[in-house]
Amino acid sequence: MLCKDNPLCLDGKVAVVSGGASGIGLATGKLLAEYGAKVVLLDVNADQGEKAVKEIKNEGGTAIFLKCDVTSNDECKNTIEAVEKEFGGINILFNNAGVTVRKTVVDLTEKEWDFVIDVGLKGTYLLSKYAIPVMAKGGGGSIINTGSGWGLKGGDKAAAYCAVKGGIVNLTRAMAIDHGPQNIRVNSINPGDTDTAMLRDEGRQLGWKEVDSFLVDSAKGRPLERLGTPLDIAKAVLFLASDLSNWITGTALVVDGGGIA
């Protein structure tokens, strides 16, 4: 635990991370635990979630896994109630669950559109709906929503994803306005292409036979000349979760190696 005389210390805080079984969510869960938070990983993949919790515990952190489909009102409500019962409150919520289908509006089926919208945007709404009252009872907290560079500009063959991420960026601002009086800060992080299983799947969706070539292509033109790593994004979440950012709310923090500069 990296807490002694450290302004990033999260000792005693409870952090809920959706999409926490892999990728950015897992990297963030590990980092928040390293800095002292009690971490609750949420995901639909129970096997990966339990494995992730073991990894955090093996590194000396405190974590539990709760299976949660963020598109379900009842599951989100019951999950937040379970967290409050287990730990007594919630200080940090990282709304990170998301999926993508790389198609235009013409090619998307209604089912595909609903799937992307429901996981990314509805899931952010539902977890926040039930977590905010718990945070408020505890004196406030920090919510970080995962947007995207494509929430601030458009992208090709990603209509539903761009709609979700643009919605998250502005939902974040609205939540910051509404809940600032409760001492709840709400910010979005907006990653560029990050080396995760989801990005690799995008390459396959777009017809790349060599996924590594797709990753190289994704990094082209970026001033820092590389893809992001899950840890790159986790570090930004740690900053927004900590007291170092205690006068920052309603912002859209871009973490993309200069991709939309």
**Do residues 241 and 15 lie in contact, with contact meaning Cβ atoms separated by under 8 Å?**
yes
Task: Find the CATH number of the domain harbouring 240.
Answer: 3.40.50.720
Q: Per-residue pLDDT tens for 191-212? A: 988 888 787 778 788 888 787 7
Residues of the chain with pLDDT under 70: 1, 4, 216
- If asked whether residues 175 and 116 sit together in one domain, one would say yes
Is 174 inside a domain boundary? yes
Q: Is residue 106 domain-shared with residue 205, that is, in the same domain?
A: no
DSSP 193: S
Question: Contact at 8 Å (CB) between 186 and 251?
Answer: no
- Both 142 and 207 in a single domain? no
pTM: 0.95
164 and 112 fall within a common domain = yes
In 3-state terms the chain splits into helix, strand, coil percentages (rounded to 5) of: 50, 15, 35
Residue 168 and residue 201 in one domain: no
For residue 15, the SS3 value is strand
Strand extents, DSSP E, 68-123? 92-95
- Same domain for 132 and 198, yes or no, is no
Q: Say if residue 215 is in the same domain as residue 178.
A: no
Residue 237, domain member (yes or no): yes
Domain around 53: 14-192+230-253
In a domain, 261, yes or no: no
Rg (CA), the chain: 17
> Would 200 be classed as within a structural domain?
yes
Distance, in Å, from the CA atom of 162 to the CA atom of 153, rounded to the nearest integer, reads 8
Residues near 76 by Cβ (< 8 Å), separated by ≥ 6?
A: 68, 70, 123, 126, 127, 129, 130
Number of domains in the chain: 2
Burial class (CB in 10 A: 0-12, 13-18, 19+), 1: middle
**Any domain includes 258:** no
- Using DSSP bridges, classify how beta strands 62-67 and 184-191 pair: parallel, antiparallel or unpaired: unpaired
Residues 6+ apart with CB under 8 A from 4: none
**Do residues 24 and 138 both lie within one domain?**
yes
The answer on 183 and 204 residing in a single domain is: no
Residue 86 shares a structural domain with residue 213: no
Sheet holding 252-255, edge to edge: 62-67, 38-43, 14-18, 92-95, 141-146, 184-191, 252-255
* Three-point CA angle 191, 97, 217, nearest 5°: 40
Same domain, residue pair 113 and 217: no
Q: Look at residue 212 in the predicted model and tell me its pLDDT.
A: 78
Asked if residue 2 is part of any domain, the answer here is no
The answer to whether position 259 is within a domain reads no
* Structure tokens that stand for 32 in this block: 């928040």
Question: Which among 128, 138, 146, 236 is positioned nearest to 183, based on CA atoms?
Answer: 138
Whether 242 maps to a domain, the answer reads yes
Do 181 and 216 lie in a common domain? Answer: no
Q: Active-site residue numbers?
A: 161
Check residue 205 and give its pLDDT.
82
